[in-house]
A and B are shown apart, each in its own frame.
Chain A
Amino acid sequence: MRTPNRTPDAALLRDAAAIAAAMIAVGASFGAITIAYALPLWLPFAMSTLVFAGGAQFLAVGLFAAGNPIAAIVAGLLLNARHLPFGLAVSATIGPRLRDRLIGSHLMTDEVVAFTLRETDPVRRRRTYWLIGITLFTSWNAGTALGVLLGGVTGDPAQLGLDAAFPAGLIALILPSLRDRSTRAVALTGAALAVLLTPVLPAGMPVLCALLGLLVLFVPRFRSGLRTPAPAAASDATPAADPGLASGSAPGSASSSASAAAAAPGSAPVSLGGEA
């Protein structure tokens, strides 16, 4: 994030390598789990290439193993419904060519979208989308194969702390967007709603309910994100530039408490829940 502008591609490659390493490890645990569940050997490969959505894959194999393929379909599709709004957001980045759209759509994951929205320049966005997309597809499938080969040896990803690595990586990627005051209000409200609804709604629904966070834009003080012709809302904080606040946000108590909240997600959604 603090990467010097002169070597943007080296920085991007380094980030891609980091996320690839994590994907190989988690992919391996996915492959190993399918073996542990005694599911057919082709299954992890078919899922990692054709479905290519980590969360839905873990959820679905659990339900397959429990003998409930219908539930696997319903839960998996519910979990993946967020890709529709993601597609709306990255459509311009993927570009107008049909071939790019057909292939680029399949590469769409949370991490790709997060990496892409971090960039401001359209050319860099496009490069980032394809580089990260192809990297993740390759590393996820390599990891899956590794997990199938190694079987039980790969162990629990939690022991390596990988369950903490992914949310932390996502937070790092969306932080530049959160420097925009309206986006921050929407995202923190959405995150709080999702956490609060997780115990009561089926998997996938709580994250979709985060879209209701957009309703805070009806609150007059957060409306500026829509009215002022600021450059693309997700991108008005330049990655390298000023550590202060982006032009749109007032350095008042509200925004500094929101910054503190964003920096400590362990407690943030809970404390924000009271406000929301």
Chain B
Amino acid sequence: MIIAAIVVLAVGTYAMRLSGVLLRERLELSEPVQRLLPMAAASLLAALAATATLMEGAAFAGYARPAGVAIGAVLAWRRAPFVVVVLAAALSAALLRLAGIE
């Protein structure tokens, strides 16, 4: 049963990935609508980042994680390299937890 579920999940996920790629040229999109596509992707990614920052399941994720992400985001805003952003976010969240702040 589990193996069937994994296959369905894998095939369904792949179908969604592929269908966007294949549909793109079948849809005759006007110039303004074409400009919506990267905006839509940016909006989805921003939503992922925001929910992953603030929420754990349906509840607030606690303070350590958003604080770490905020430090990383400020560094990103100051044009720090990607590696620095990721490491600073992880390190500050880990240190806050070490200090007992969840």
Contacts and interface: CB of A to CB of B under 8 A. Distances in A.
Interface of A: 1-3, 11, 14-15, 17-19, 22, 39-40, 43, 46-47, 50-53, 56, 60, 64, 69-70, 72-73, 76-77, 80-92, 94, 96, 101-102, 104-106, 108, 110, 113-114, 117, 158-175, 177-178, 182-183, 186-195, 198-200, 206-211, 213-214, 217, 225-227, 229, 232-235, 243, 259, 262-270
Given A91-B24, A94-B21, A162-B90, A195 B13 contact: no
Interface of B: 1-10, 12-14, 16-25, 27, 31-32, 35-55, 58-59, 61, 64-77, 79-83, 85-95, 97
Contacts of A105: 14, 17-18, 21
A207 B48 contact: yes
A187 B14 contact: no
Contacts of A177: 38, 42
Given A87-B24, A195-B51, A226 B32 contact: yes
Given A15-B82, A56-B13, A91-B24, A262 B6 contact: no
B94 A159 contact: yes
Among the interface residues A72, A164, A267, which one has the most CB atoms of the partner chain B within 10 A?
A: A164
Given A64-B2, A164-B65, A183-B39, A174 B45 contact: yes
Given A47-B6, A50-B10, A175-B76, A160 B90 contact: yes
Dominant secondary structure at the A interface: helix
Contacts of B18: 87, 101-102, 105
A161 B91 contact: yes
Contacts of B7: 50
Contacts of A269: 50, 54
Contacts of A270: 54
11 contacts: A46-B6, A47-B6, A60-B6, A102-B18, A105-B17, A183-B42, A192-B50, A199-B59, A229-B31, A265-B50, A265-B66
Given A172-B76, A186-B39, A214-B40, 11 more contacts: A22-B90, A84-B17, A85-B20, A106-B14, A168-B89, A170-B52, A182-B39, A191-B47, A214-B43, A217-B36, A226-B36
